[in-house]
Structure 1
Amino acid sequence: MFCAQACHSDFSECFIVSKIVFCEFVLFLELFMKKFTALFCSICAFLFFDARSLQAQCLPLSSLLALGNTPITQSPSSAVARYLPAIEWAYRGSVDGGKDPYWTFAPQGSTAASSDDAAPAWISLRANQGKYDVVFKTPMGSCVNQLKSELRALKIKTEPITCVECEGIRYVGDGYTVNIYSKKKGAFPNVVVVHYGTIGTGQTRDAAGSLSIGQ
C-alpha cells in the first residue's frame, strides 16, 4: 500500500523503496545459501567419513590371505603394517597375556576403544606351520557377507563346521582354508579364521577363548 501510494505521488520514491526491499531480499538469500552450503558440506563430510570407516573395518579377502601367507620370519607387526592401514589399526598387546598379538580398529582421527568389546573390529596373528593364522572378528554381518561373496566367486570347496551356539562354514582353497563363524554370542558375533598349511586335527583358538576351531 505504501509503495502504491508512493508510486502515485512520487515514482522516484517508489523506485528507492523497491530497491531497498530487493537488496534486503538478496542479502537474506545470500546468507541463507551460505548457511545451507556449510550445513550441506558438513553432512556430506560426516557421511563420507562414516562410509569410509565402515568400508575400512571390513577387510577384503585379499588382505586376510596376504596376512595369513606371511612367513613367520616376518614379525606380526611388520605384516600388519604392510597389509593394513597402520593409522587405522591400533596395537593392543597380546591375547590373554600370551604370545599372540592383536589389533583393534580405530578410525582415523579417533582413539582406540577403551575396551576390546567396544572396538569396531579386532584382528590377531598366531604363528602356525611356518605362517600365521589370522583371526578377524567383527560385529558387522555385512563384512562377513562381503567375504563370503568373494569366496563364492572363487568357486572353491565348502564344508560345514560344527559350532556350538553359532553357524560355521569352511572354504577350502589352494593350500589355505577360511573358516567363517556367524551368530556367536558376545560383542563379536562374526569370526573369520584364515589358515595356511595342512588341514589336520590341530586346534586354533578363536582368540576369544570360548571356542576351539578345528583346522
Structure 2
Amino acid sequence: MSAQRTAQVTRNTNETQISVSINLDGTGKQELHTGVPFLDHMLDQIARHGLIDLEIHANGDLHIDAHHTVEDVGITLGQAFAKAIGDKKGIRRYGHAYVPLDEALSRVVVDFSGRPGLEFHCDFKRATIGSFDVDLTHEFFQGFVNHALVTLHIDNLRGQNAHHQCETIFKAFGRALRMAAEHDERAAGTIPSTKGTL
C-alpha cells in the first residue's frame, strides 16, 4: 500500500475559523471540537465507521445559530478529503452502505467522480434534535460535496426517531467513504475511469 493519505486544511472567514486534520488510512481516532455537540457526535460516526482519523476544531458565530459552523465544517472537511485522496489512482471509487439503527434505515452511495452532486432524501420526523436544526444536515453534506468533488446519494429509507434517522445517515456515510477510498489491489496504479482522469 502507498503512504498514508493525510491532509491539513484551515479555513477562516468572518463567520467561522475551522481547522481539519485527516488521515484516510487511520483507525477511527477523533478529536472534535466544533461547539455544536450533536455535530461532534455525527462526525464521530464518520471517523469510527470510516476508519478515518479526524481532528476538527471550529470557532463559529454560534451566538447567531449553528448554520455557518455546520456548513463550513462540511466545506473544510470536503477540502481536506479532496487533498488527502490525491490523484485517486488505485482506489475503488464507488462506495455504498446500508445502516440500521432500531427502526431507522439509511442508504448512502458515493462516487469519487470529480463532479459535485448531491441527492438528499430524508423526511425528518421533527425539526430539531435537541437544539440541532435538522435542516443543517443537508447543508453539511452540500458543503462537503461541493469541495470534495464527489457524487453523493443519501436516502433515509425509513425511520420515526429523528436522532436515529440522522445517525444512520452519518454512519452509512462513513462506511461508504471507507469503501470508496480503499485501495483496490487489482487496480493498483490505475485511475478507475474510462476517461483516464477523475
Q: One fold, TM greater than 0.5? A: no
Bigger proportion of residues as helix: 1
Larger relative contact order, structure 1 or 2 (CA cutoff 8 Å, min sep 6)? 2
TM-score, reference length from structure 2: 0.29
TM-score, reference length from structure 1: 0.27
